[in-house]
Amino acid sequence: MEIKKYLWWSIAALLGFATFFAINMPASSALKLLQPYGITVSQSSGSLWHGYAKGLRSKDVNIETLEWQIHPLPLLIGQLSSNFKAQLKDGVVIGNISRSLTGQTKIHELKATLPLETIIGGSEMLKGWDGLLQADIKQLTLKDDWPIAIEGTFDLIDLTEPKAASAIGSFRLSFHAATKNPTIVIGNFSDMEDASLGVSGTIRLASDRNYLLDLYFTPRDITPPSIMSRIKYLGPPDTQGRHLLSIAGTF
């Protein structure tokens, strides 16, 4: 009995020391762990528990400032959970992220405003396209870095083709939490009030990392001629006047 008593006290002491170490570990020391992944930080302050970093740079991402605060209670059930705010050059991303011992990642109350240029990066196919992406995600669950549940919306505001004088309009991709098939995440496309082009369709993300995109484009009287010429490459319309773009693949 005495041995068990001392064992429990030893475990409690180790956990207490580990917690104290984590709370007081400088943010600069923690951020050095990112260097092997090609991520550099120009300036930091605070601790691992509640910290602030400036000038995070990597091959694909440039973050002007990043602030985070880890929540202690989820640690008791084996989850690492933190609020975060990332300020980019032309946008901001705010939310809460948690990761369990099973490797599943959940993001809650994610709100983001980013220029389309930041999203598409160096894509030659989409070079010159402009717009603003606004995300309002209540919940996003990732398993092996692949979405298995999404609830929320992605809005593409004032989509503008290269060298165009005016925008085509705004469009929305909506995800709902409950689906009949739990192995497939389904998103629905729709056009918004200012759109000069009718857009509808779905994107299906299967748990085996397959995807299927079915997009329907319906020309309107105000659809720009340049967009009309692009749509004609999709082939003749169906009985509802819609032109289908269908893409399937695997990530």
Q: Which residues 6+ apart lie within 8 Å of 4 measured at CB?
A: none
Position 13 scores a pLDDT of 46
Residues 6 or more apart whose CB falls under 8 angstroms from that of 195 comprise 168, 169, 170, 171
Percent with pLDDT over 70 in the chain = 85
Find the DSSP H helices in the chain: 2-24, 27-31, 116-120, 225-232
pLDDT value of position 33? 64
pLDDT band at 3 (very low <50, low <70, confident <90, very high): very low
* pTM given for the model: 0.84
For the chain, the domains span 1-76, 88-251
Does the pLDDT at position 18 exceed 80?
Answer: no
For residue 177, the model assigns a pLDDT of 74
pLDDT tens, position by position, 60-106? 778 899 998 988 778 777 788 999 999 998 899 999 999 988 888 99
> Could you tell me how far CA 180 lies from the centroid of its own chain?
24
Least confident span in 50-54, 216-220, 241-245: 50-54
